[in-house]
Structure 1
Amino acid sequence: MTTTPETLKPLLWEPKNLVRAIEAAGVTLWSWNVSTDAFAMDDHSYELWGVPKGKDVTFEDLSAHIHPADRDRVRAAFTATRSIIGAYEIDFRIMIGDELKWISARGQGDDVGMIKGIMFGIFIDVTGRKQAEEGRELLAGEMSHRVKNLLAIASGLTAITSRSTTTVEDMARELTLRLTALGRAHDLVRPVPGQTEAPSALLGDLLTVLLAPYDDLGAFSGRIRVSVPRMSVGEGATTVVALIVHELATNSLKYGALSVDTGTLDVSCSAQNEAVTIVWTENGGPKVVHPQSKSGYGSKLVERSVTGHLRGSIDYNWAQDGLVVTLVVDPERLAS
């Protein structure tokens, strides 16, 4: 028999084939008896929720899988769906063992389509979309923080330059040099595509480049000292180290040793097989006051960078004569 558009038309409209389109889209189906609280789901819904197939479930059974932070909100939202005019959509998290998923539940409110007290709707796994949204929010937050830091750094560098110059021409020249050095250092913070496993810099050279914009070029030159053994920093770790140093230097420029003429900064390092220890020591600055408020965005960014990529730890010693920051990192991660 010859296949023609007319002979394919019944196949095109066959209900079981339309269901295949639902499956291809990752849509799972449910119905809910609002009086008895009983839920009926298709096989894919059972898989999505991590519930054994064929088991009788209720809304309360499913609620046990909902993330505790979302549970009350979802219960209230489902209870309110009958009074909602039009379509509704509820996004929430569920826990399957240690795995977290985002689910979107969708249906019609105001009892539209309800049959003998039974409502109908769909579940969709939206984990990928939510993770992408969180990634974009995190990136936007980091970019905003970095821009604010750069403005603060530019202001601080202008103040430093004004202390070490006597003429407008000298100040313009030295400030230009500082901002140029800042641009070179800031390039190290940008993510680099196609990262390799080969080392891309020596730690001492990297720290010197990063801290050069903050050192005085005139009467107070040489107040930043870097003393580290010869060791390589991988291309991936270079970005992380640059971010950490920029954050610490910015804070020092605002509140610490680099904010005054008499302040000094020493960065030293010791390396053993198990760990690389980098010590950031400030002296001669304003009296150090332990912050009373919770860590700001920048501090959280530094901590996440150290504990995450470098698999290490960071410790702050708020000594009155100067802040001491100790970073202990995994040497393998530093070289990657």
Structure 2
Amino acid sequence: MDQEKVNILLVDDQPAKLLAYEVILKDLGENLVIASSGREALEVLLKTEIAVILVDVCMPELDGFELAAMIREHPRFQKTAMIFISAIQVSDIDRLRGYEMGAVDYVPVPVVPEVLRAKIKVFAELYRKTRELERLNHELEDRVRARTAELESSTAKLRESEQRRSMAIAAGKMGSWDWDWISGDWMWDEGQYRIFGVGPESFEVNPANVQALLHPDDVDQLRKAIAEFNKGTRAYETEFRIVRPDGEVRWCVGTAAATVDESGRVVRVSGVTVDITERKRAEERQNLLAREVDHRAKNALALAQSIVRLTRADEVKDYVNAVEGRINALARVHTILSLSSWEGAELSRLIDEELAPYSLGDQIRLAGPEVQLLPATAQTLALALHELFTNSAKYGALSTRSGRLAIDWQVEDELLTLSWEESGGPLVMAPKSRGFGTRSLLASVESQLGGQAQFDWRAEGLLCRLEVPLTRRTATAGPGKFDTGGSAELQRASG
């Protein structure tokens, strides 16, 4: 099935550059929209849905920074991806200014066609995925509305049946009652006693005892309902809560109708009570599900965006492979969590998923108990394991047939300790700089999970230890016997 094309806006005051960009981006198969000035670009945006904006920094009348600021002021375009093209050397201050204005990346001139196509492709795909998630959210909202309408329809039908006492008794979660307005005598049937969690042998039906079972916040509205009958009202319906003697709170809908004498005076009030607790809980679950889906979609998009922005590589192919690898790792853990209805994921399953792309035979040894991880912990730990496996396969023990890797883990006092020990591979020395993998691993484990990521750069192979709380808590800093200043990317020792 062909993907729906997205619109890419190209903004430059020089026709030759616009033609060059069209030629470079033509192979992407997207719709290319041209604007030769900032004002023309604004007119296009107001008429067309744009996925990515490629804009020249230096333009007369409105430069790229000013155009970006005007675009971001409009609520419709606050999340539109903008890439700046600059023919001059851009300082860090200018870059910071561009990012503050809403730029997601810079492309220097002369433009490398492969780099430009790769960047545009990434943001076009991100836009497409975002629109798909929005569509799914709308479908979920429609289903929730349909379910709500169905519940309202069921309630209407139930209201009709509530007028007949025999049906109320037979339904199990319904009860009927009768109140002699003159003498004050009450009559409850078996269903009414069952709803309130009391029995006729121990509970005397009178106004004081009934009020004692009502939720304190709902007493006033029922008093007002009684007052309405004295004012001429002949029927009344309301939702209210009761608190059973065992402390359980139940939701009910009550319908009451008055019987009057020849003078119009109320002589009797009869009613039906329906326990709607399960319906209320179902509505709460639906609302929670809608909020949870929205929350997870936003989190996934934010994480994917950070991966795209922060990944660095000297070659376009390496850049694309790095981004795809990290996003695939995120997708794999999402699949595991979906199968468990987002209850959690087993640590051994995460490791097996990361091992799947490799044919390593007996090079890897795993040992540890079954550990169930919370969804947020599973996502973060999956990305950390992906970085460790990727770097080991490139530079460490898994890059040679003689290399060995031992992964051990244990749990004590709700603290997961995972040991990663490499041996038999190339000689290793501590790297001098931190890449994206290191920064993301340290930041996610230490900042997000409140744990520690520690490295020991031994010549015979990396020894890494991850300490991860299995319950959410604030990270605690403290010295360890490992050096935490290194990179998760191994380097072979030279000479």
3-state SS of 1:314 partner = coil
1:314 aligns with 2:471: yes
Change in 2 beyond 3 A, CA 1:141/1:39: farther
In 2, the alpha carbon distance for the partners of 1:284 and 1:321 equals 14
1:230/1:169 Cα in 2 relative to 1: closer, same or farther (>3 Å)? same
Q: Could you say which residue in structure 1 is the equivalent of 2:288?
A: 138
1:182 equivalent among 314, 320, 330: 330
Distance in 1, Cα, partners of 2:442 & 2:178: 70
Q: Which amino acid aligns with 1:154?
A: A
Greater relative contact order structure (CA < 8 Å, 6+ sep): 1
Measure the CA separation in 1 of the matches of 2:182 and 2:447. Answer: 61
1:63 to 199, 207, 211: 211
Aligned residues: 231
In structure 2, C-alpha distance between the alignment counterparts of 1:58 and 1:285, rounded to whole Å? 63
Tell me the secondary structure at the aligned position of residue 288 of structure 2.
helix
2:377 is aligned with 1:245: yes
The correspondence of residues 238-317 of structure 1 with structure 2, limited to 5 A, is 241=373, 243-246=375-378, 269-271=409-411, 277-279=415-417, 285=443, 314=471, 316-317=473-474
C-alpha separation between the residues in 2 aligned to 1:192 and 1:284? 27
Counterpart pick for 1:147 among 274, 297, 303? 297
Distance 1:34 1:142, change over 3 A: farther
- 5 Å-filtered alignment, 1:212-227, equals none
Aligned counterpart, 1:116: 266
Q: Which residue of 219, 224, 235 maps to 1:80?
A: 224
Contact 1:268–1:278, Cα closer than 8 Å, also in 2 = no
Q: Determine if contact 1:91/1:104 at 8 Å carries over to the other structure.
A: yes
Q: Deviations over 1:166-204 (max 9, x none)?
A: 3444433322232222211210011359xxxxxxx9734
Cα pair 1:38 1:59 within 8 Å, conserved: no
| Equivalent-residue separation in structure 2 for 1:245 and 1:57 (angstroms) | 53
User: Where does 1:159-238 land on structure 2 (aligned, <5 Å)?
Assistant: 159-161=309-311, 164-192=312-340, 203-204=347-348, 206-207=350-351, 209=353, 229-232=367-370, 237=372
The higher radius of gyration belongs to 2
* Alpha-carbon contact 2:182-2:267 (below 8 Å) kept: yes
- The offset of 1:249, in angstroms, is 6.0
User: Whole-Å Cα distance in 2 between the matches of residues 21 and 120 of structure 1?
Assistant: 15
Structure 2 letter corresponding to 1:47: R
Distance, in Å, in 2 between the alignment partners of 1:35 and 1:289 is 69
Would the alpha carbon gap of residues 76 and 32 (structure 1) be closer, same or farther in structure 2, given more than 3 Å must change? Answer: farther
Per-residue deviation, residues 57-98 of structure 1 (Å, max 9, x unmatched): 2333123223xxx423x2121122244786422132422415
Note the C-alpha offset of 1:122: 1.1
Structure-2 residue corresponding to 1:97: 246
Identity, % of aligned positions: 20
For structure 2, list consecutive stretches of 5 or more residues without a partner in the other structure: 1-163, 357-364, 385-406, 420-439, 449-468, 480-495
* Aligned Cα root-mean-square deviation (Å): 4.5
Q: Match for 2:192 among 27, 35, 45?
A: 45
Q: TM-score, normalised by structure 1?
A: 0.53
Letter in 1 for 2:416: I
TM-superposed deviation, 1:247: 5.9
Structure 1 residue 24 corresponds to structure 2 residue 170 = yes
